Structure 1
Amino acid sequence: MSDNATSQQNQPAFDILRLYSKDCSLETPNIPQIFSKEWKPEIKIDFEAKPLKLNDETYEVDLRVTATCKIGEDVAFICEVHQAGLFLIKNVDEATLDYLLSGVAPNILFPYAREHISTLVNKATFPPLTLRPINFEAMYRSRQQEAAAKSDVANGADSEQAPQA
């Protein structure tokens, strides 16, 4: 094998192998009574990205997005989507791997999850629900900065303790 081919094999790589819906559900426990209520919804959005290592270079990221809509105390709908993807990631350090799995991959998956939620809610004849974009990369960086700040505070507290005689 030539040196050029060897150096290309050792280059960092990130690629989308496949994107797919893993699970989609819509629960409407109070239909049809909910339609007679004044539409003043309280909507709560929860999300979580779970990476799974499948082999040395292939990872699955499962992004779960749940939209819960209440009218007063009554649940109008609960819509949950698991949007997943297979990603090829190789020749990167642990910090970069974590960033790709926790920031980049969820950013790729979220528009698909948004579209599924919007479609499911629309098919149940509720008013349109369009989720705002979420920047998972910015959230990842923010969590890293918070962790670094907490670590600095903890290390500073340790160094400020008076030595014992």
Structure 2
Amino acid sequence: MTEQANVPQQHFDIQKIYLKDLSFETPHSPMIFTEQWSGESQLQLNNESTQLAENIHEVVLTLTVTTKNGDKTAYLCEVKQAGIFTIAGFAPEQLAAMLGAYCPNVLFPFGREMVSSLVQKGGFPPLILAPVNFDALYMQHLQAQQAKAAAQPEA
């Protein structure tokens, strides 16, 4: 029983989820609305984390959607969905996974809804972003870092 007493208790809590920043641009309006619609969208994701205090972290998930109608940009939508999380008792590699995959997974539905709302309010057909596997993206990121580290010559 003594060993269990020394094991730190793992704790995860969502303190706040909020919209940090957003931008919606329609560079070719109003003429884009007079053209036949054949929109094609691309999604770019990015996430950053900042330690605010001991065991308190801000995670910001950035969703950037660029939609073109033919060769013209119909709209550019960028949403920075953020959250403040309490994360305690995790090993460093577990903490990194929480910040790099788990928290963005929590934030994504809020960001997706904001993108959808902005697109419709901008006068365009509905856009529903597909689910994202943040665990797989995080693993790809780790593998890319490891490959980069392995390719660098030792000093």
Q: TM-score, normalised by structure 2?
A: 0.87
Q: Aligned pair 1:83/2:81, yes or no?
A: yes
Q: 1:35 to 1:140 in 2, by over 3 A?
A: same
From 26, 50, 56, the equivalent of 2:48 is 50
| Residues 28-68 of structure 1: per-residue CA shift (max 9 Å, x gap) | 11111001112112211111000001111100000010111
Counterpart position of 1:117:
115
Alignment of 1:6-155 (within 5 A): 7=5, 10-145=8-143, 147-148=145-146, 150=147
Distance in 2 (CA, whole Å) between partners of 1:116 and 1:153 is 40
**Greater Cα offset, 95-104 or 17-26:** 17-26
Alpha-carbon distance in 1 for matches of 2:104, 2:21:
16
1:144: how far off? 3.0
Deviations for 1:57-80, whole angstroms, at most 9, x for unmatched residues?
100000010111111222111111
Name the SS of the counterpart of 2:97 in structure 1.
Answer: helix
Report how many aligned residue pairs link the two structures.
Answer: 151
Q: CA-atom RMSD, angstroms?
A: 2.3
Distance change in 2, residues 1:11/1:128 (3 Å):
same
Give aligned-pair identity as a percent. 39
Q: Distance in 2 between matches of 1:48 and 1:152?
A: 21
Which whole-Å CA distance do the structure 2 matches of 1:33 and 1:109 have between them?
Answer: 34
SS in structure 2 at match of 1:100:
helix
CA deviation after TM superposition for structure 1 residue 109, in Å:
0.3
* Secondary structure in 2 matching 1:54: strand
Report the TM-score, using the length of structure 1 for normalisation: 0.82
Q: Structure 2: which 5+ runs fail to align?
A: none
Residue-by-residue CA offset, 1:139-165 (whole Å, 9 max, x unaligned): 2123334555x38976xxx9xxxxxxx
Inter-partner Cα distance in structure 1 for 2:87 and 2:95:
7
Q: Which runs of 5+ in 1 are unaligned?
A: 159-165
Cα deviation for residue 105 of structure 1 reads 0.3
Q: Which has the larger radius of gyration?
A: 1
